[in-house]
Amino acid sequence: MEFDRRRLISAAGGTLLLSLAPWQIASGAKLVNVRMWPAEEYTRVTIETDEPLKFKHFFVRSASPLRLVIDIEGLALTERIKRLIADVKPDDPYISAMRIGQFKPGVVRLVMDLKTDVKPEVFLLKPFANYQYRLVFDIYPVHPKDEIGAILAGSQDGNLLTDSLSSSASEDPLADVLAGLANPDAPKTRPALSASKGKDEKETKKPSAAKETQTPSKTVPAKKSQNDDQIIIVVDPGHGGEDPGAIGRRKTQEKVVVLQIARRLAKLISAEPGMKAVLTRNSDHFVSLGGRVAIARRVKAHLLVSIHADAWVKSNVRGSSVFALSQKGATSAAARWLAKNQNESDLIGGVNISTVNKQVASVLVDMTSAWTIGYSLGLGTAVLQELRAINRLHKTAVEQAGFAVLKGQGIPSILVETAFISNPSEEQLLKNADHQQKLARAILTGIKKQLAADTTLTRQG
């Protein structure tokens, strides 16, 4: 794709996009793009090049304002780069200004003037999908403004899930996670359930594929919020930030429409007596799969509903689908393909591999019980039946595969593919406010019917 030499500002989510035409620089590398994703949770700045860059960073705390300094090897300056780096949106919550200069031969110094004390994550991403090498600056606040920001910022010091899973899950949990991203249906070593889960919750033998789709057992209690008697439902808009998700024929981005639907669903849920919704993201920024699961676990969610919009190479494919986690493998080749693509979100959106062992491995180990799978299937069936009234179904039954985002320990979870964004007619519907509201209401109605039909979620303390 050819970029012109003008700065492009994307209206979606207020995101500032600085697009540069690639050109040869002195080091032999090519600067491809500079992008900025401001959000209340954190701000991300990405410098994309065709070759990897070496870097180091430090604070200048004696300066006013506080400054974050990054020295980058392998970049040479032009006046145009200086102007583009300096053009920061004034409403960014953490960065007031950026400037770049030649520190010494072969080393460029990038300086960020900060509005508050921050915990920066600076790391390099290897090429993946449509991206080349990316030098990423994730600017997390030391004092987050809300609970979700605190959860995501907490991942940077290794305290994201100190009460998570047993370290005996695997001798190398990082290897398990990375293997799972490549092959989400591969067998995994499952740790024993913690004794603190209660005397009624015991490890059970894995059910057969036939039994897995039957009515869920009511002998295993779901975890209930310690704060109050509300049913807490985490609504998870897929993708975000660097990861646009699927893109329609009219260039509609999945990350945009699923956030709009998720906001509508969250509003409807929170208006219901005894229910509370928590969004994993409420703006256009990237949240890792581990971060999404961590949010659900930290807020002691009863349910998780992940919202997506499917895509296929043929534009005539259409319809809504609902997916649940599987203990045995995907129920179809299409489900396996979809799970693999969704699980690659971390590689597209960009996670710091050095923190994966602390942040991701602990939450993506599958400890899902037969009860959780069963309840998820019941929930998915109820939602699918409601979606039938407003859209054609792509699959008439809930499908299963190894979706990483559904692997929250003990939390019934479903992934809703609202429609095929690759189908021009459904793409247009996904952008329509009335249709978005119908989708949100159908999902809520399905949730309420499942809660009424199977009260194990509300009867257990």
What per-residue confidence (pLDDT) applies to 246?
95
Q: Which amino acid is at 229?
A: D
What per-residue confidence (pLDDT) applies to 444?
98
Mean pLDDT, to the nearest integer, of 70-90? Answer: 77
Q: Are strands 54-60 and 43-49 parallel, antiparallel or unpaired?
A: unpaired
Mean pLDDT, to the nearest integer, of 40-48? Answer: 91
3-state secondary structure of 411: coil
pLDDT tens for 158-195 read 444 433 333 323 333 333 333 333 343 443 333 222 22
CA distance 150 to 164: 17
Say whether pLDDT at 116 is over 80. Answer: yes
393 in Cβ contact with 442 (< 8 Å): no
pTM: 0.76
pLDDT tens for 94-108 read 999 888 888 988 889
Query: Which tops the pLDDT comparison, 17 or 316?
Result: 316
Q: In CATH, what class is 31-143?
A: mainly beta
Q: How many CA atoms lie within 13 A of 218 on its CB side?
A: 11
By C-alpha distance, which of 307, 310, 318, 266 is closest to 441? 266
Q: In CATH, what class is 231-453?
A: alpha beta
Predicted confidence band of residue 23 (pLDDT cuts 50, 70, 90): very low
What per-residue confidence (pLDDT) applies to 388?
96
The one-character DSSP state at 5 is: S
Report CA 303 to chain centroid distance, whole Å. 16
Predicted confidence band of residue 337 (pLDDT cuts 50, 70, 90): confident
Range from 84-93, 189-198, 223-232 that averages highest in pLDDT: 84-93
Cis peptide, bond prior to residue 65, ω within 30 of zero: yes
For residue 159, the cross-strand partners are: none
Q: What are phi and psi of 166, to 5 degrees?
A: -65, 140
Lowest-pLDDT range of 78-82, 133-137, 241-245? 78-82
CA distance 33 to 22: 8
Mean pLDDT, to the nearest integer, of 50-66? Answer: 89
197 in Cβ contact with 222 (< 8 Å): no
Query: Which tops the pLDDT comparison, 342 or 44?
Result: 44
Query: Which tops the pLDDT comparison, 88 or 66?
Result: 66
Mean pLDDT, to the nearest integer, of 66-75? Answer: 90
Q: Which helix (H) or strand (E) holds 356?
A: helix 353-359
pLDDT tens for 362-395 read 454 455 578 888 999 999 999 999 999 999 999 9
Q: Are strands 133-141 and 43-49 parallel, antiparallel or unpaired?
A: antiparallel
What per-residue confidence (pLDDT) applies to 210?
34
By C-alpha distance, which of 179, 44, 143, 134 is closest to 98? 44
What per-residue confidence (pLDDT) applies to 213?
38
Domain edges within the chain: 31-143, 231-453
Say whether pLDDT at 308 is over 90. Answer: yes
CA distance 328 to 304: 21
**Share of the chain residues as helix, strand and coil, in percent rounded to the nearest 5:** 30, 25, 45
pLDDT tens for 433-458 read 999 999 999 999 999 999 999 887 76
Predicted confidence band of residue 356 (pLDDT cuts 50, 70, 90): low
Quick check: do 31-143 and 231-453 share a fold?
no
Average pLDDT across the chain, whole number: 77
Mean pLDDT, to the nearest integer, of 229-234? Answer: 92
Question: How much is the CA Rg of the chain, to the nearest whole Å?
Answer: 23
Written as six digits, the tokens of 93 are 């919550």
pLDDT tens for 386-432 read 999 999 999 999 999 888 888 776 899 999 999 999 999 999 999 99
Say whether pLDDT at 245 is over 70. Answer: yes
What per-residue confidence (pLDDT) applies to 421?
97
CB-neighbour burial class of residue 389 (10 A; exposed 0-12, middle 13-18, buried 19+): exposed
